[in-house]
Amino acid sequence: MPDKNEKEQVQDLVTPFIKVLEEGNTVRLGSMLEDLYPAEIAHILESLARQQREAVWEQVEADKHGEVLILVNDAVREGLMREMHPHELVAATEGLETDDLADILPELPDAVISEVLQSMDQQDRKRLEAVLSYDEDTAGGLMNTDTITVRADVSLDVVLRYLRRRGEVPAMTDSLIVVNRDDQYLGTIALTDLLVHDPEQKVADIISKEIEAIPATMSERDVANLFEHRDLVSAPVVDEENHLLGRITIDDVVDVIRDEAEHSLMSMAGLNEEDDMFAPVIKSTRRRSIWLGVNLITAVIASLVIGLFDATIEKLVALAVLMPIVASMGGIAGSQTLTLVIRGMALGNIRQSNVQRLIIKEVLVGIMNGLIWALVIAVVAVFWFDNLNLGIIIAAALLITLIIAALAGAVIPLILRKLGADPALAGGVVLTTVTDVIGFLTFLGLATLFLF
């Protein structure tokens, strides 16, 4: 069994390439790339500075260009494609699956797009047009049109001979799709059933209708949830009239799940998961400055609330010492609820039917935590400043703030989704503003009313 150091060496793909690049050994660089999968090459490219990335890209085999371009993030892909000649871009698209080609085609120069389309036969062009007609974040945009279909009235022997003559099946094929003469979806037959049943039997005898067709307009998030809940490997995609359009496979769904996770994580900081980690300083500064500006506005709002009570703070310095505690505790409590709700929305667990129950539960959690920590901070404040009234005030303020923070954390993402905004991107900023304003206003307001 490999030890820890050996495991780390296996997982670290980037360090050896940086060493070879520093040595300037292009021969060694090319030989190292030959043994890697496209996904590993994509990982390396995203992990290198721009000049190093270009040096590595020059050594990547041409027949891997297309798959690697699909796998790198948008910003890195844009930089790599900018340095490629038109004929190289056309060559890179050859052999790509229809769904992957649909993803990359809009980013190509017009002249290259025209050449790519001209190089395709009529059937492949129609398949590509079918995918491009749907939004990229729907089942139609996610599907692959390379499918194997059979009729229900033919024998299994005919199907087997057809497969032998065909010579190969599309990747991730676990079943064949059964359609009628109008190309409408009827069901599937698993490859295992095809092999173990009597060849004289008809397809209709072993057809399975367990796998329901996915509407082409279904969101990719709902598709991912469907695959997870039903343990699917592949599923057919149909239009409104049940005509077969293509199929979605588990590898596409894994990409959706990964992209959703990255989006949620990066959005919390106002970043884009498709940004280049080694983008130019000016470009990165410009993107992040917008988010910092938004946060500055929220901080100014909180400061204005504090300014309303400057006379109160001057009379009792202890208020200035304690008030960050109330706002901070509210921010943490609200963030816990916010994260929980955003995750539930992403997984499809939160629906109109259970929203009210969720909100009530989170408010009750806020009350329970508020009572516990209000007692703790009250004892601390009394012993610290020898002021019983101050302890009671901060306890009351903390209890109110934690309840409102829990309520805000549950309600804000629901409201943002209804307004068409991204809860993962905007939820944190709105929540921070609410918890800061409520925390300062409650604590300083109560102090003004009851201490002076």
Task: Please write the tens of the pLDDT for every residue from 346-359.
Answer: 767 788 888 899 99
State whether CATH 3.10.180.10 applies to domain 149-249: no
Whole-prediction pTM value? 0.66
The CATH 1.10.357.20 portion of the chain extends over 281-451
- What Cα–Cα distance (Å) separates residue 254 from each residue in 108, 201, 257? 25, 36, 5
The larger pLDDT score, comparing residue 452 to residue 440, is at 440
What pLDDT, on the 0 to 100 scale, is given for residue 270? 60
Query: Can you identify the CATH homologous superfamily of domain 4-137?
Result: MgtE N-terminal domain-like (1.25.60.10)
Q: Outline which parts of the chain fall under CATH 3.10.580.10.
A: 149-249
For the chain, report the end-to-end CA distance as a whole number of angstroms.
71
261 pLDDT more than 80: no
What pLDDT sits at residue 378? 93
Name the nearest CA neighbour of 66 among 95, 44, 39.
Answer: 95
- More reliable by pLDDT, 185 or 132: 185
Q: What integer pLDDT is reported at residue 75 of this predicted model? A: 83
Q: What CATH class has 281-451?
A: mainly alpha
- Among the listed ranges 5-19, 79-93, 249-263, 422-436, which one has the minimum average pLDDT value? 5-19
pLDDT at position 345: 81
